[in-house]
Amino acid sequence: MTQDKGERDRILELRLRHELLCERRIHDQALLAEIVQAWGQPE
């Protein structure tokens, strides 16, 4: 599945919001790894 960066960012933002609202922190290590890969370093 191909996503542009904007779509990827929106999906990650929604997943992150859900995780924080439900768990109050990031428990999902796969989500955290995906966030770091996508947003961890400036372009």
pLDDT digits (tens, 9 = 90+) for 12-38: 999 999 999 999 999 999 999 999 999
For residue 12, give the nearest of 31, 25, 29, 33 by alpha carbon: 31
State yes or no: pLDDT of 1 exceeds 80: no
Verdict on whether the full-model pTM lies above 0.75: yes
The CA distance from 15 to 24, in Å, is: 13
For residue 10, give the nearest of 30, 33, 38 by alpha carbon: 38
- For position 17, what pLDDT does the model report? 97
Would you say 39 and 12 are in contact if contact means Cβ atoms under 8 Å apart? yes
Tokens of 17: 């919001």
